[in-house]
Amino acid sequence: MILGLTAFSGLAQDDAVLAGLNGMLQYSQSNIQALAEAFTQEQMDWRPAEGVRSAGEAIMHAASANYYFAMKMGFAPPEGVDMMSMESIKDKAAIVDAFKKSSQFILEKAQMVDPASFGEEVDLGFMKQTRIGALMLILEHNAEHKGQLIAYARSNGVVPPWSQGAE
């Protein structure tokens, strides 16, 4: 009986971890999407210095990474998605649409990860990580670029939509 309760408790904790990670990923990605929508077409081309990604390129980098990480975790990208050329998309509407689709895709796939597989190793190409570590890396990567895009927005007089009115 106690062993059964302990096992049930562990499963509940794994489900809570997955739900927490997915909730934070959804929050971070919704912020990136809000910033993408707040930028003008001209601001999508803005970059802080030569050789640094523009706002649009940073958004598309995050989008392509969503597909890349999912692929490394065993989920093939949708047909027609070319991760290698996504950063060349320049039109604001296409950037917003591509990011939305990548966000929906990674959120769907992250929810499909079985908590029982959290300890399994995933080769991400640049490092090996557990499946739970890979999920945390997806969250961290999106948060990193959200921060980058906040700095880009502020540099261009764009107030992040979620903080408007709080200034």
CA–CA gap between residue 49 and residue 122 (Å, rounded): 35
Radius of gyration of the chain (CA): 18
Q: Is the confidence at residue 167, as pLDDT, over 70?
A: no
Residue 3 has pLDDT above 60, yes or no: no
- Summarised one tens digit per residue, pLDDT across range 83-138 is 999 989 999 999 999 999 999 999 999 999 999 999 999 999 999 999 999 999 99
Residue 32 near residue 22 (C-beta atoms within 8 A): no
For residue 5, what pLDDT band results from cuts at 50, 70 and 90? very low
Nearest to 131 by CA among 66, 45, 72: 72
- All domains in the chain, ordered by first residue: 2-158 (1.20.120.450)
**What does the CA dihedral 53, 54, 56, 61 come to, rounded to 10 degrees?**
10
Mean pLDDT of the chain: 91
Compute how many other C-beta atoms are within 10 angstroms of the C-beta atom of residue 12. 11
